[in-house]
Structure 1
Amino acid sequence: MSEIVFGIHAVEVLIKRNSESIRRVLVQNNRRDQRLHKLIKLAQSNNIKIVQKSREDLDELTEQRHQGVIAECGELKKSSYHEKHIPELLDAAGSEPFILILDGVTDPHNLGACLRSADAAGVNMVIAPKDNAATITDVVRKVACGAAEAIPFITVTNLARSIKQLQDRGIWIYGAAGEAEHDIYQTKLNGPIAIVMGAEGDGMRRLTKETCDHLIKIPMAGEVSSLNVSVATGVTLFEVVRQRR
């Protein structure tokens, strides 16, 4: 079974982190910019075969925006983390773990963007339900720009139970909900913390919401009642970063 990874940054990170999985890198034969040249040199230094292809040939491999580069891989390793690894990841995170929980995000572009924001904000792990939610795909890897390989992504069978296990470890759970009384700028968001973001459109499920310690919201000044989940995730995570500093 083979898989593809596309996009300059996603392929670059894959070469650096998992070069042995790459069979060859296909590059657009009429593209000669500096970023692609740098990627080709990196691939060659890792003894990865480079094959020149037309734009049309690359377009046949994916309908997504590939930026003139596609890595053909063997079956990529899925996340090596399982829900049983959550305690050891918490131990490694130190006294103030920072966790993102995604309750049913289904769009791979949103998942990729959430992972990218989580990695940039210094989140220790991302937790999501196994069912009715997006998982790691080539589109997620492209949008995540390397974060899909960098941050522990853990799918769990029972999200409410996993949240309670985090609470038992002294982690406060803050769920994002439009009906919350307090916004993220009025709320103390430091210490050991997990931020829960709900699904596109519907938000958190009822049981997830009831399990949270506190509900918070992003204040909205205009006519739009809510933000895209990936945008809301970035805003909320970096408010935590701001308060921690």
Structure 2
Amino acid sequence: MEILYGLHSVEEALRAGSRRFDHVCVARERQDRRLQDVIDLCRETGARLRFEPRDQLTRMAGTAAHQGVVAVVRAREFLDLEDILEAPAPESGNARTARLLLALDGVEDPQNLGALLRTADAAGVDGVLLTERRSAPLSPVAVKASAGAAEHLRLARVVNLVRALEQLKERNIWCVGLDERGETAYDSYDFTADTVIVLGREGAGLHDLVRRTCDHLLRIPMSGGVASLNVSAAGAVVLFEAARQRRSLAPAANAPAKPKKQKGLGS
């Protein structure tokens, strides 16, 4: 069993139905509309409720930042890469729309992981690839940092990210890495084809093999004194640029998109 804590984390897990709940504990001392909404949702979904002293919730969560609600849940079950690949392509109107995936190459900070998952959900990402080793687990801290968005995303664990990217390329999905040494500015790239955006580790960036596997490397032009952004901030910039380009195709939803031809696929 695992612990979830925080209003958004617990509420979104209840709404998504992605977890099996053992029970939900709420603080006796807190009485307000936001907590009552979670209580009402527990009753609607049949999750068992317990009313406990705030100190007990703090001991369960290991932090006082639980906002008066802690849930005991079954561990999240991750998908396989094939589950992501075999999922029906998203549609807009009567037309198929391009897939947008996110792959994280060893993001180790749970706050960054949570922030990226929150952005991925908001930007309409169809699936997220996480590595099994040397990456942050989907911990209560990460789930809370995602404001519960992690519960709505299709998440897959992969053993070898390079091999996973090669499998995506075999399915005609462009692999685009974000790297400060990239030759193309992120806002000059055409994201309207099937694309996986690959983000690297805090500070070190993409592993060499991952970098070489990508079809294209993009950079975010920087005007200040620092060379790069935090990975979660950089991810937000690029993911929302991809989302913006895809929204611009909405008026032509009845016709298949014809993205510009780009060199490098399958290389």
Tell me the secondary structure at the aligned position of residue 31 of structure 1.
Answer: coil
Q: Distance in 1 between matches of 2:82 and 2:216?
A: 26
In the alignment, the residues of structure 2 paired with residue 29 and residue 184 of structure 1 have an alpha-carbon distance, to the nearest angstrom, of 50
**Aligned ranges for residues 81-160 of structure 1 at < 5 Å?**
81-89=79-87, 91-93=88-90, 94-160=96-162
Q: CA separation in 2, counterparts of 1:204 and 1:23?
A: 39
2:70, 2:133 → 1: CA distance?
29
Q: Does the 8 Å CA contact 1:19/1:46 hold for their aligned counterparts?
A: no
Q: Which of 204, 211, 224 pairs up with 1:209?
A: 211
1:27 is aligned with what amino acid? Answer: V
TM-score by length of 2: 0.84
Query: Which whole-Å CA distance do the structure 1 matches of 2:177 and 2:204 have between them?
Result: 13
Residue 28 of structure 1: how far off its partner (Å): 1.7
Structure 2 gaps, min length 5 = 91-95, 249-267
Q: How much identity, in percent, do the aligned residues show?
A: 39
Counterpart residue type for residue 100 of structure 1:
L
User: What code does the residue aligned with 1:58 have?
Assistant: L
Inter-partner Cα distance in structure 2 for 1:99 and 1:19: 20
Q: Deviations over 1:16-64 (max 9, x none)?
A: 2338722222112222221111111111223333322222222112234
What RMSD, in angstroms, separates the aligned Cα atoms of the two structures? 1.8
Measured in 2, the distance between the counterparts of 1:178 and 1:58 equals 43
Q: 1:106-136 CA deviation, whole Å, 9 max, x = no partner?
A: 1122111111111111111111222211232
TM score, norm. by length of structure 1 = 0.91
Distance in 1 between the 2:132 and 2:103 partners? 12
C-alpha distance in 2 between matches for 1:58 and 1:205: 40
CA distance in 1, matches of 2:157, 2:48: 34
Look up the match of 2:68: 68
Q: CA offsets, 1:123-157, max 9 Å, x none?
A: 11111222211232222222222322211111112
Distance in 2 (CA, whole Å) between partners of 1:23 and 1:71 is 8
Question: CA deviation digits over 1:182-228, x for unaligned, max 9?
Answer: 21122222211111100111000001001111111112121222211
- Please say which of residues 200-209 and 8-17 is displaced more in the overlay: 8-17
2:43 is matched with 44
- Give the structure 2 partner of residue 187 of structure 1: 189
d(CA) in 2 for partners of 1:179 and 1:195?
16
* C-alpha separation in 1, matches of 2:51 and 2:97: 50
Q: Distance in 2 between matches of 1:48 and 1:198?
A: 38
Shift of 1:86: 3.5
Partner of 1:17: 16
Contact 1:9-1:145 at 8 Å conserved across structures? yes
Cα 1:221–1:63, aligned 2, differ >3 Å: closer, same or farther? farther
Which residue matches 2:228? 226
- Secondary structure at the aligned position of 1:185 is classed as helix
- Are the counterparts in 2 of residues 130 and 157 from structure 1 also a CA contact under 8 Å? yes
Code of the aligned partner of 1:72: V
Aligned pairs for 1:30-41 (under 5 A) are 30-41=29-40
Distance in 2, Cα, partners of 1:133 & 1:221: 30
CA apart distance, 1:181: 2.1
> Is the Cα–Cα contact under 8 Å of residues 18 and 151 in structure 2 kept in the other structure?
no
Partner of 1:240: 242
Alpha-carbon distance in structure 2 between the residues aligned to 1:49 and 1:178:
49
Q: Equivalents in 2 of 1:205, 1:24: separation in Å? A: 41
